[in-house]
Structure formats: C-alpha cells, structure tokens
Structure 1
Amino acid sequence: MTEAISTSGRIGRFRAALGESPPLLWSFLYFFCLLSGYYVLRPVREAMGASADISALFPAAMIGFFAERGIALKELQLQVLFTCTFLIMLVLQPVYGWLVSRWPRRVFLPAVYGFFIATLLVFYAMFDSGVPGRGMAFFLWITVFNLFAVAVFWSFMADVYDNAEARRYYGYIGAAGTLGAFLGPFLTRMLVERLGIANLMLVSAGFLALCMLCILQLRQHAVRREAARRLVSGEVPMGGQVLAGLKLIAREPLLRWMAVLTVFGVGVGTLLYNEQAAIVRQFYPDPGHATAYYANIDLAVNALTLLVQLLVTRALLSRFGIAPALLIPGVAIIVGYAALAASPLPLLVATVQVATRASEFSLAKPARETVYTRVGREWRYKAGAAIDTVIYRGGDLTFVWVHKFLSAFGSQAVFGAGLLVACGMTMGAIGVLREANKLPDDGRARGGDASA
C-alpha cells in the first residue's frame, strides 16, 4: 500500500509539472526521440568497433597502407578510430562555431538535425550495398552525432528553462531520454535480424524528424522566456568569434574545471570500454551477435538510470542542489575501480561499467547542465559544445592510447590507473562546485546574456 501511494505521488508531481510548465511535454518528447534514434544505432557502432572483420571496418586503401609498413591494423583499430574521431572534432568545432555565430537559433538547430538525417540516408545506401570501410565511416559519424546532437539539446534547454525550473524538471527530462534509450536497443534487438542493419538507419532518421517538430514547438517558449526576462534573443545571430568557445574555456575558471571533470570522466569510461571491446572480439565474432550483446548492456544501463532518475535525481537537485549529484558518481566509480584493481573479473567489469554510465546519465549530466542555465548563451552554445566535443574526444584519444600502453601489463594495471583517474574526476567535480557557488541564480550576470 505504501509503495502504491508513493508511486501515485510521483505520478501526481509529474502531472503537476506538466500543468505548470507547458514546454515540459515537448522537451520530454524531444529527448525521448533523440535518444531513441541514437540507441537504435549505438549497438551497431559498438559491433563495428569490436568487429574482427577489418575489411568491413576500414577502407581497402587504409588496410594496404598499414600492411605495407608492417603494422597490424587489427591490433590498433580502436586507437585509430578514436584518433580519427578527435581529428574530425577539431575540424568540425570551428564549423559549428561559425554556424551558431552567424545564424539564429531557428536556422542552426534544424540545420544540425537536417544534416544528420541526410547522412543517415547515405549510410542506409552504404550498408545496403555492403560498401567496404562502411564500419569506420559509421563509427566516426555516430560518435560526432551523439556529442553534437546532445550538446545542442541541452544548450537549447537552457534557453527554455531558468535555474530553478531546471532543478525541478531536468530529472523528468533525463528520464524521458532514458525511456528512449530503453526503446532504441529494444527495437534493435527486435529488428536487426529481421530487417538488417541498413534499415535501422531509416528508423533512426524517423526519430530525428520528430525531434525537429519538437524544436519548432519549443522555440516559441524560448522566445517568450527571453522576452519576459529581457535576455538577448536567440532569434538573432549570436555573433562573436568562431573559436570563442575554446577561448572561454582557457579564460574562465568554471569552464576549465568543467573541462577537467569531462576529461577524467571520459577517462574512466574509456578504460572500461576498451576492456569490454577485447572481450567482445573474443566471444562474439559475429556482428549480429555482438550487436545484440551491446543492446543487452545498454538495456541494463538504462534500467538503472531510469530507476535513479525517477527516485533520486529530482529530489537531490531540488533539495540539495548539484553537489550530491556531482560527487556521488565519483565516489561510486572510485569504489568500483578499487574492486576491479583487486579482482578484475569479467562480470565485475560489466557491473562497474553499468554503474559508471548510469551515474553519469542520471546524476552527473543533469547537474552539469543545470549550471549552464546560470550563464550566457555564448558559454552554453560555444564553450559548452566545445567541452562536449573537442575536450571530450581529446580525453577519449588520450585514454585510448593510455589503455593500449597499460594493457601490456594486464588488467590490474589498467584498473589501478583507472582508480587514479576516478580520483581526478572527483577533484574536477569539487572544482566545478566551488566555482558554481560564485554564480548568481540569474544567468544574465555571466557570459554576456543580458540585454543592453
């Protein structure tokens, strides 16, 4: 009876939130569709990255280039993929900076998603015809898609909601994304063997088209909020320099600590990811079976994430602010890596990875994004995006090569180093909290968001 009353109370609070905040439903649908579309494809990416068939993963010219130099590309496939991803981020970051500087929100938001839909149609043709090297192209594309599309989403949410609203609603919005992350791998498991990988591209494109509908609806609420608070309108070009995001990170202590937290947070995930990839190559050589395996991992992560979001996230952010949500994941990961360093069992590796990813999605990510509601638009769209793309992939690149070096000494060396990285992540969270406490609740005072 008590459990039923508690559940009824949570549903009642959610209905009340929908009533007091009309854009919440559209935000809910937006994030649900975005992560549904991504998680339909994520198992395909993971299977490509762990594939033992390098002819499907890399172009023939690239395989020949490495072979002529006596380098076994198969032994370096993740390192090569992550290096190429980082280089692509370096190229795309100024392009994105130019886009958000020169075009208003009503143009660049649909343009970002329109680009991803168009490229999905290209990948449909590539997978349908079995083009060699399709695995590498898809791996790189979906990594860029995940970072840019999600970064744009949270930047846009900070246009729609203020700090107090973010603390109340970001838990609900995050839960919507988790529901989408449940649906995505479920659809993949149901469809991949019946329809094939190529048709999954069309399923994902359909979800992204719904995201564009949500953007059109939410833009009206963003305009009204900006007008009511006399903020600079997102309906006019932002202006500023193309590389302003990276310059802001170098100049502002809060953004520097955000970057530190991101790099070490990526580090703990990358070390685990590479260990998992080695296991998949050994036990799941078939791409279809590997895709199903990764779908199961995603389902476990999303189940824990949704549980925490529904029971914990909103209460922590509303009552205690961002401190617990930022610090709890760091402490949990330290404990997990300590256990792995002592006993690196495969099941324990999977357990710690589930806990690591779930705590990031359910606690750390909503807490970090709440901070961006208190700063200006250039901080959100430029510096925030730079942290989520270039800085993020720079951390990925660093730790994928660190793992390659440490793996020669065995799993315990990898997880021992990971324990130190987890401590660095916790220190980054403390630095973010210290600087965030200096911010006023009204984001107009930082980052030039006030009207003239």
Structure 2
Amino acid sequence: MIENFKKRIFDIPIEDRSSLLRAFFFFYFVLCSWYSIRPVRNEMAVQAGLENLPSLLSIVLLVMLIANPVYSWLVSRINRNKIVLYFYLFFILNLLVFFFSWVLLDESWKPLIAKSFYIWCNVFSFFVVSIFWVSMINYFSGSQAKLYFGIISAGGSIGAFSGSSIARVFSTQVCGSVTLSEWGPFSLILISVFSLSIACFLSMSFKSEVNEKEGGASSESLPGSAFEPITEIAQSSVLKNLSLYMVLWTGLMTFGWMIALGIVQEWSTDPCERTAFFARIEQIVTPLTLICQFFVTSFVLRSFGIKKVLIIYGFILFSAIYFYEIYPEIMTVLIVVSILRTFEYGLSKPARESLFTKLKREQRYKSTVFLDTFFARGGEVMGSWFAAKGALLIGLSSMGATLFMIPFAALLSWAGYKSSKLLDE
C-alpha cells in the first residue's frame, strides 16, 4: 500500500500537478474555515437544549427549501466559473454580520443571534463544501477523480485539523479567561473569514475543464429554471436512488448523534469543557482521515469498488447506534464518532463525489447541490425528530428505537447498491 501511495504521488502527470496542488490547498482553506467554528455550532446545539434541536433543524430544512431554488436561479444566470467566488463572498459577508451583531448589540440579542448562527452554520456547512466539490467534479474527469479526490480530500482534512486545533486552543486557553472571550465563540469567526477569503482567491484558478471537453464554453451560464433540480430528480431513477441514499445516511447519522449529544450533556455541564471535547474529536478524526485518504481511499475505490463502499454504510451506521445503546459512556462517543467520520470523509464522501462525475453537466452543478443540502437536511430532521419525539410516541424503549433502525440501515445499503448502477451507464 505504501508503494501504491508512492506511485500515485510520483507518477502524477506534470500537467496535473499544479492543479492538484491548488485543489489541495483550496479544500484546506474551505474546511479550515468551517472547522474553526464547527465545535461552537455543536456547543450551541447543547445549550439550545436537545429537545429544541428538531425544531431548529426543521427551520434549517425550510431555509434549504428556499435557498436551493435561489441557488439554481443564480447559477442559471451567472458565469459558472465565478459561482464559487460569488457564493463564498456572500458567506464571508454573512460571517461578518454575525460577528458585528454579537459584538455591538446588547445581551438581550445574544440568544436570538446564537440560535440564528446555529441554523446558519448548518446551511453554510453543506453549501460551502458542496459548491467546492461542484467545481472539482467539473474540473477533473471521472478517471482523474479516482486518482486525485483522495489527495484533495486530504488537503481538506489537514484544514479541518487546523481549524479544530484553533477552536480547541480557544476553548481551553482563551474561553472564559481573557478579554477576547468577551466576544465569546464568535471570535473564531475572524479565523473563518480569513480562511474563506484565501479559498475565494484559489477558486479563481479553476475553470470548467470537463465541460469544455464536452463541447461547452467555460464562460457560459447554465440553462434551466430555478426548480430544475426537483424536476431532474423526479424524472431520473439514478437521482431518486441518490436522494434516498442521502436522506437515509444523514437520518441514521443524526439519530446516532442525538444519542451522543445526550451522553455528552450528562458528562459535563461546562460549556468550555464540552467545546474542547468536540474540538478533540475533530483533532482525532483529522489525522485518521488523512491517513485513510493518502494510503487507503484510492486503493479501496480501485480494488474493491465504489459499490461496496456505498453498500457497507448501512451496517456501519447501525453498529454505531447499537454501541451507543449498550455502552453509553463519553469514551464511546469519542471512539464511535471518530470511526464514523473517518469512514465518511475518507471513503464514503470520495465515493459519492466520484459517482457524481458520471452525471450530466447541469446535474453536477444543480442536482448534486440539492442532494447535498435539501435531502441531507431532510434526513437530519427526520433522524432528530425520531430521536427526540418519535420513539416515545410509538412506545419504543431506547433499545427498541435502536432495533427499529435495522430496516432503515438495510434500505440504505440497498440504495447504495442501486445508486452505484450509475457507474455502468
């Protein structure tokens, strides 16, 4: 496997090395921007109360329902090589508005700003990453994706480690101890703004190479209506299977995460300690994911195939939920979350993105973002509502609720199998 890694690095064509390096650092700064504020988002979920989380996620879903047609409408009217730049600048403006609102407004506004920031973070995290991958799957070909997406993902993992490390230093050494903490967790927004600004600069060097090869001018906007992603999904069996897959994996993941948050809440009542714990998880996940992306991802995708990676996810997610039930300890959360996220970022995400390269041009820009945002958030809403309310309403015990997930895990594996049929087209 080491020899395979060396061959991948040193046998990269000279003409691809520059773009691969830029993509590596592009994703580094995208995820550094997100992960510097992600532990804060998780802490706010605890502070808001787990019983309120389904309502907040439902609002997120509503925002996604509104935002996706707006995104599709804008994409249909602007130069597609400027899509990343324009949307990232919009997110930077949002971050600055949150920061100055927190600093300048009085205490009575803080609860509303905090809840709004939690909702916004859930929208931001999906759009900022999805739009990045849209630029990648339109720049690199399908064959290049299998070779390079693991390396590009590794750049994101290092960025995630950098961002979470900054967050942990803040929560353990700054939070509650110096003047900076008067700004609270929103101090980390400045790091996020800086990182996303560099990502904007790097995005300008990526033109839509794949689309040019398909015969389109790279400067063109994309045709279609604001609701085209919905009609595309309704008419395409492949996109329907991918939609089902997105809903199920995020639903199962969120159901497990709600259980994990309850364990964390019982473990500590100190916000700084909990924020540090969430950041510690990210610091563990990142090097594990990095090792996976450099040494395992390409090997697994080429040797075992994308299909097997997609199919096995259902078993892995159910196993995680089961371990939460039988060992409800803080170390269980640390270990299980670390394994789940390593699999997601190291194998599942690159597998899905490689699959997306097989879609048509308009589907890559619009439908994939709709899948990664609306359907993913829809799964989160269903998973959170069932964890908070649904199990009690139908009279299930905690173990009963866990076993209730078995058919959904099996359906996820089936959807993964059906989605992988796209590779045969």
TM-score (norm 2): 0.90
Identify the match of residue 431 of structure 1 among 415, 418, 423: 418
- Which digits, 9 at most, give the CA deviation of each residue in 1:353-372, with x for residues without a partner? 32222211111111111122
**Per-residue deviation, 1:417:** 2.5
Question: Which of 400, 419, 424 pairs up with 2:406?
Answer: 419
Helix, strand or coil: the match of 1:186? helix
2:352 and 2:380 map into 1 onto residues whose CA distance is 19
> What is the total number of aligned residue pairs between the two structures?
408
Q: Where does structure 1 differ by over 6 angstroms across 4 or more consecutive aligned residues?
A: none
Unaligned stretches of 5+ in structure 1?
Answer: 1-5, 55-73, 440-452
- Aligned-partner Cα distance in 2 for 1:270–1:154: 23
The reply on whether 1:187 has 2:166 as its aligned counterpart is: yes
The answer on whether the counterparts of 2:77 and 2:222 sit within 8 Å (CA) in structure 1 is yes
Q: Which residue of 1 aligns with 2:38?
A: 42
- Structure 2 equivalent of residue 14 of structure 1: 9
C-alpha contact (below 8 Å) 2:306/2:351 kept by paired residues = yes
Aligned pair partner of 1:27 in 7, 23, 26: 23
Instruction: Map 1:247-326 onto structure 2 (within 5 A).
Output: 247-326=231-310
Cα distance in 1 between the residues matched to 2:397 and 2:332 = 16
Q: Deviations over 1:194-225 (max 9, x none)?
A: 24322210110011011111111122xx34x5
Instruction: After TM superposition, give the deviation of residue 110 of structure 1 in Å.
Output: 1.1
Structure 1 residues 173-201: Cα deviation after superposition (integer angstroms, max 9, x where no partner): 11111111111110111134424322210
What per-residue deviation string (whole Å, max 9, x for no partner) do you get for residues 322-381 of structure 1?
Answer: 123323433333443444555555533443332222211111111111122122221111
Give the deviation of 1:76 after TM superposition.
2.7
Q: CA RMSD in A?
A: 2.2
> Contact 2:288 / 2:342 at 8 angstroms: preserved in 1?
yes
| CA–CA separation in structure 2 for the residues paired with 1:370 and 1:241 | 26
Query: Amino acid of the residue matched to residue 211 of structure 1?
Result: A
Q: Deviations over 1:129-167 (max 9, x none)?
A: 453212111111111111111111111111111110001
Letter aligned with residue 121 of structure 1? L
CA–CA distance in structure 2, aligned partners of residues 169 and 14 of structure 1: 10
- 1:215 — aligned with what? 203
Matched-pair contact (CA < 8 Å) for 2:165–2:279: yes
Following the alignment from structure 1 to structure 2, what is the Cα–Cα distance between the partners of residues 18 and 203?
A: 35
- Please point out which of 115, 130, 141 is paired with 1:136: 115
CA distance in structure 2 between the aligned counterparts of 1:312 and 1:142, rounded to whole angstroms: 30
The residue that corresponds to 2:356 in the other structure is 372
* More divergent stretch after superposition (384-393 vs 281-290): 281-290
Partner of 1:93 in structure 2? 68
Distance 1:413 1:254 in 2: 33
Give, in angstroms, the shift of residue 19 of structure 1.
3.2
Residues of 2 paired with 1:32 and 1:400: CA distance? Answer: 30
Partner Cα separation in structure 2 for residue 15 and residue 211 of structure 1: 26
Distance 1:201 1:18 in 2: 38
Give the counterpart letter for 1:105 in structure 2. Answer: R
Cα distance 1:17–1:75, how it changes in 2: closer, same or farther (>3 A)? closer
Percent identity over paired residues: 28
Among 332, 340, 344, the alignment partner of 2:316 is 332
Q: 2:177 maps to what in 1?
A: none
Give 1:404 deviation, angstroms.
1.4
CA-CA distance at 1:305 after TM superposition: 1.8
- Whether the 8 Å contact between 2:29 and 2:196 is mirrored in structure 1 is yes
Match of 1:77 in 2: 52
SS of aligned partner of 1:437: helix
CA distance in 2, matches of 1:289, 1:407: 30
More divergent stretch after superposition (153-162 vs 329-338): 329-338
Q: Deviation at 1:412?
A: 1.8
Displacement of 1:78 in angstroms is 0.5
Q: CA deviation at 1:83?
A: 1.0
Distance in 2 separating the partners of 1:189 and 1:340: 25
